[in-house]
Amino acid sequence: MNQLFDKNESLEQKKRKKKQDKALVEMVKLGYEKSARLKKMLDDAGINPAEIKSREDLESLPVTSREKLVDMEMQQPPYAGLENPDINVDRIFTSPGPVYEPHLSETDYLWARAFFAAGIGPKDIALCAFSYHLVAAGLTFHNGLRRVGATVVPSGASSSQIQVQLIKDLKVTAYVGTPSFLKAIIEKSKEMGFDFKNDFLIRKACFAAEPLLPALRRSFENDYGIDTYQMYGATEVGDVAYECPEKKGWHICEETIVEIVDPATGKNVPDGELGEIVVTRLNDIFFLLRFGTGDLSRLINEPCPCGRTSYRLAGIAGRVGDAVKVRGLFVAPSQIKMLQAKFNNLPLQVVVSRSGHEDVLKLRIEKISPEIGSASWEENFKKVFREICTVGINNLEYLNTGEIKPEEKLIVDQRAY
User: pLDDT by residue (tens digit) across 224-257?
Assistant: 999 999 999 998 999 999 999 999 999 999 999 9
User: Rounded CA gap, 293 and 259, in Å?
Assistant: 11
pTM of the model: 0.85
Least confident stretch, 83-97, 151-165, 390-404: 83-97
Domains of the chain, start order: 7-107+236-319 (3.40.50.12780), 112-232 (3.40.50.12780), 324-413 (3.30.300.30)
Query: What confidence category does residue 368 fall into, taking pLDDT thresholds of 50, 70 and 90?
Result: very high
User: Rounded CA gap, 366 and 389, in Å?
Assistant: 20
Please report the pLDDT score of residue 331 as a whole number: 85
Q: Calculate mean pLDDT across residues 164-179.
A: 98
Q: How many helices (H) and strands (E) does the chain have?
A: 12, 22
Mean pLDDT score across all residues of the chain? 93
Query: What confidence category does residue 54 fall into, taking pLDDT thresholds of 50, 70 and 90?
Result: very high
pLDDT tens, position by position, 287-339: 999 999 999 999 999 999 999 999 999 999 878 877 788 887 778 887 898 89
Q: Which residues of 3-12 are buried (b: 16+ CB within 10 A; e: fewer)?
A: ebbeebbbbe
pLDDT at residue 153 above 90?
Answer: yes
Residues 6+ apart with CB under 8 A from 242: 111, 113, 114, 117, 118, 229, 230, 231, 232, 250, 251, 253
Query: What confidence category does residue 2 fall into, taking pLDDT thresholds of 50, 70 and 90?
Result: low
